[in-house]
Structure 1
Amino acid sequence: MTLPPHPGLAEGPVYLDYNATTPVDPRVAEAMAPHLTHFFGNPSSSHPYGSEPRRALAAARAQVAALVGGRPEELVFTGSGSEADLLALRGAVLASGRPHPHVITQATEHPAILESCRALQRLHGARITILPVDHVGLVQPADLAEALTDDTVLVSVMAANNETGALQPVAELAALAHARGALFHCDAAQAVGKVPLDVQALGVDLLTVVGHKTYAPKGAAALYVRDGVRLEPAAYGGGQEHGLRAGTENVALAVALGAAAELADGELAAGAPARIEALRDDLHRRLAVALPGRVHLNGPERERLPNTLNISIDGTLGHELLAAVPEIAASTGSACHSGAHAPSPVLTAMGNGPERALGALRLSLGRWTTQAEIETAAALLVAAATR
């Protein structure tokens, strides 16, 4: 299906930063709008003003759960992916009752995971193991098997990396964790809606879903919690969200996340990832042909998201290259502090030296990416790299 142009992208730069955030789909905005105006009631109220918000909240919960293969009662709405990650990690560690809880994660996780682990170590005495990754950014199951102990309460490994798109072997890792009695959490912020995910097939106990990566507004997210998994609540009070996150629910954002999930489910069934993958590979090919021997893929060639292309171009610095082409909106993995650029921790963990890491570009495609935009972006990047 051909979509009309997105109003937020009209006459702007070519947008190749969908992994940073996605534009809100107008159909999502339309679905949530009545809950910002007409349906203002508290979903916990027993009078008529609470009826429609309560119904809409339940429907949204079912839509999001269906996208990841869970049941509605296993879905907890949160305000961000970082909050969902914290609920999973802190909740599991505190609920474990272990005097010396052990948590395992890996080196290329999002800071929401790594910093939560450091906080658990600092505040609750948790022991943290950070697994290495190989040269394409994948965790080796043997490394996890060796790291697991009788005190391990949780393993947290992302579904897909935000910089390289690397898809981790989640099902195999989850099975190893369960064999030692540990829970398994998966931050699927980047993968949900881009590739099919099923919590039953993956065998995960906890899974993070993020709205602004799936064409819903920022502030809409969720945590899948397998039935029977005990977590310490993130907020205490009125018992909303199965007692795990007290506070009157934001029905409008929940409805938005539900609508986005239903659209994503339809796109996956219709084969949309194949269209995106073809555009991504065409962009890669155009750059490689025009800059022979200079373009290097960062991450797996096959086991990655269909929309993500992370490359380093010899003789360039990623931030300088993007600054030279303001007609393209994309990202590097480097961090800028007081004008100095530091190499991407993700690419560094993969064994890349500073030159290759600082030369990296992350080009991520999405729902509104067109063939014409790919051709334009390739021509602009090639021109800038050959000046």
Structure 2
Amino acid sequence: MDMVNHRLSGLLATGVWLLTGCTQPNSGTTGVAPESPNQTTTGSNTGTAIAIGIGVAQTSNVALLGQEQVAGAKLAEKYFNDQGGINGTPIRLVFQDTAGDEQGAINAFQTLITKDKVVGIVGPTLSQQAFSADPIADRAKVPVLGPSNTAKGIPQIGEFVARVSAPVAVVAPNSVKAALKLDPKIKKVAVFFAQNDAFSKSETEIFQQTVKDQGLEVVTVQKFQTTDTDFQTQVTTALNLKPDLVIISGLAADGGNLVRQLRELGYKGTIIGGNGLNTSNIFSVCKALCDGILIAQAYSPEHPGTINKAFRDAYFEQYKKEPPQFSAQAFAGVQVFVEALKTVDQKAKVAQKPLGDLRISLNQQVLAGNYNTPLGEISFTPEGEIVQKEFYVAQIKMEPDGKNGKFTFLK
């Protein structure tokens, strides 16, 4: 339905508070933010909106993941504004680029908190960034929902930090079990991981433990950097040990190049990619050689439910392909904030609540709620860990042209 035009009355305080890094200023600014000339609100002509921050990687090598998160967040903005926003008040997503390093995430979070005055933040893209940026939001008492932060220890950063991305310890083992089901003869495993990325280091620990638990042998562990493009030394060392299975924990760009070089140098066995390779953007990196990669996922486009159908249809209409996990998780992050804000608003209008108070109330409601998202039904532990029931394993199937492909979900 069309967005209801609704202008809330009341004056917005003009004082600007500075982030000290230790305490939350007692601001009189309300939770409804005025629109700046370069920011638009989807589906509404009203001059006020509730600002939600999206702090993800739009540039750098991490942008292959962050671009999918931007797409999912924008679809959520339109969808929920078309549904009436926060009980008649639209939301406005404010985007800040975290780029690919810790300082980029810190800068983005500080801007979202102090300048953009958002009620909450969906971000950042990497766990490595979250360990640096999330404490800033936690000290300022601004709720954060990690859309792709699966490393161990994320919810423990602080009481204002939660995630809609299932931890790697829950998801990663599924792909190893799927590989063994497809090829019971697998015995020897070569492991590759990006040593400069917190998520990859956390994920490889889970993978290596799962391999041991399944009675397999880790014949080598090879390290690389997320900025690397040449893996010939590591690949040659691994292939000399004749592994039956290769497991890669890295990002899309480096991981895709590693897959390509493994195949070019003669490896014909099974490859498992970690969550960093869980994007269709990898197709342009390893092209036809992406075919056959196994990846565990926390989302399936085929999941039943009204909200996932709406999300899937909207994504397909715009991009002419099935939605990926990173888009679904970003959508879910916005959805959780929207539904929690609607509940808060029913108790006391968010337009009249001081921003600091609204952020606290929002965080409390986020953790208390249950949400039927594209990921399925989710909720949170008191510590901010996602509670999710359904997980999947997909295999990449490339088209004959070697450029296009899709994730085929294993039964």
TM-score range, shorter chain: 0.3 to 0.5
TM-score (norm: length of structure 1):
0.35
Determine which structure has the larger strand proportion and give its number.
Answer: 2
Relative contact order (alpha carbons < 8 A, sep ≥ 6): 1 or 2 greater?
Answer: 1
TM-score relative to the length of structure 2:
0.33
